[in-house]
Homo-oligomer: A and B are copies of this chain.
């Protein structure tokens, strides 16, 4: 299989992206990696000879993290982010990875690959570490101001992802809200609740912000504003907690000694909540396998994201989503 990589996207691009690709090229010899970007810069980062399953595809220009998504993909059609997507659109790659501007990746995917028939809006599905594993949250920022039916589609897509790629039979699907009762939430959420009761999913009801971490559901569906908030607040709270712990650990000599002793145990805990272990998020609902990495992706995160991309391709995730939406009644599938 072939994966197109936007080698210039991300805070630590191209260095960490290339390093992650080199690790993946060695770990997955059956996978062809197409590094799209500034050819001289990328070549300089590669060993000589480069691995046989890794090739550089030249591109011109970079979409920055703060560029306006729609405008930038129009104005920079030869940028690494767009060129890599073009490889998927042309059938020259089976999957795509970028740690660049999320909005631009979403816009490029929607425009160049198109939506799966029946899907109103693509959604980004990511893993949130929780007690006893993780929960898939969709959407986490591709789509704000969602209609209730779009939230239901996020639930359908993420549920299929959970069963097919994460191998969870009958994933429990929850709806992010501000209380367990069906009556709690904003207008779209309350409507989505009603619709999810009839959607043929293993719907377990509303999931409160607090209950997310108790593994109240395997899949949490939500509007992109709420989902992004969930993700970022969790990240910020974890950072805050780590800061507080560090302060506590250095507050006295005894505490410093104790910190030395607990350090190895805390390392395992850090791994549990480290985004780079999860690597990337699927953009679900477009006609191609697209994985988006964290802007801060390091080499390990890139390698894990490429593993995830491989899994999505192997499990034929896009084809399964297409079949699922072809089977959905037109009423539920409409925008």
Assuming the contacts A144-B186, A265-B248, asked whether A229 and B237 have C-beta atoms less than 8 A apart, the reply is no
Assuming the contacts A209-B229, A209-B232, A235-B210, asked whether A241 and B243 have C-beta atoms less than 8 A apart, the reply is no
> Which A residues, 230 to 276, have Cβ-Cβ distances below 8 Å to chain B?
230-241, 243-245, 247-249, 251-252, 254-255, 257-266, 268-269, 272-273
Q: Return the contact of A226 from the options B226, B251, B272 (Cβ within 8 A).
A: B226
Nearest-neighbor residue (CB-CB) of A240 within chain B: B213
Q: Which B residues are CB-close (under 8 A) to A238?
A: 237, 241
Among A3-11, A155-163, A165-173, A175-183, the stretch in contact with B: A175-183
Nearest-neighbor residue (CB-CB) of A140 within chain B: B178
Nearest-neighbor residue (CB-CB) of A232 within chain B: B209
**Cβ–Cβ contact A236 & B213, under 8 A:** yes
Q: Which B residues are CB-close (under 8 A) to A208?
A: 232, 236
**Cβ–Cβ contact A209 & B183, under 8 A:** no
**Cβ–Cβ contact B240 & A266, under 8 A:** no
Task: Judge if A112 is at the interface, Cβ distance under 8 Å.
Answer: no
**Cβ–Cβ contact A269 & B247, under 8 A:** yes
Give the complex CA separation of A238 and B208 in angstroms.
15
**Cβ–Cβ contact B212 & A233, under 8 A:** yes
Q: Return the contact of A239 from the options B210, B243, B260, B265 (Cβ within 8 A).
A: B210
**Cβ–Cβ contact A252 & B265, under 8 A:** yes
**Cβ–Cβ contact A255 & B247, under 8 A:** no
Task: Judge if A214 is at the interface, Cβ distance under 8 Å.
Answer: yes
Task: Judge if A95 is at the interface, Cβ distance under 8 Å.
Answer: no
**Cβ–Cβ contact A181 & B66, under 8 A:** yes
Q: Return the contact of A233 from the options B230, B257, B265 (Cβ within 8 A).
A: B230
15 A-B pairs with C-beta separation under 8 A: A66-B181, A211-B236, A213-B239, A213-B240, A226-B229, A229-B229, A229-B230, A237-B238, A244-B269, A244-B272, A248-B262, A248-B266, A252-B265, A255-B264, A258-B265
7 tightest A-B contacts by CB?
A: A258-B261, A209-B232, A210-B236, A237-B237, A258-B262, A213-B240, A248-B265
What residues make up the interface of A, taking CB atoms closer than 8 Å to B?
Answer: 66, 68, 130-131, 141, 144-145, 176, 178, 181, 183, 185-187, 189, 208-214, 223-226, 228-241, 243-245, 247-249, 251-252, 254-255, 257-266, 268-269, 272-273
Q: A225-B226, A241-B241, A255-B265 are in contact. List 15 more A-B contacts (CB 8 A).
A: A68-B183, A178-B232, A189-B225, A209-B229, A213-B237, A229-B233, A238-B241, A248-B266, A248-B268, A249-B262, A249-B265, A252-B265, A254-B264, A258-B261, A258-B265
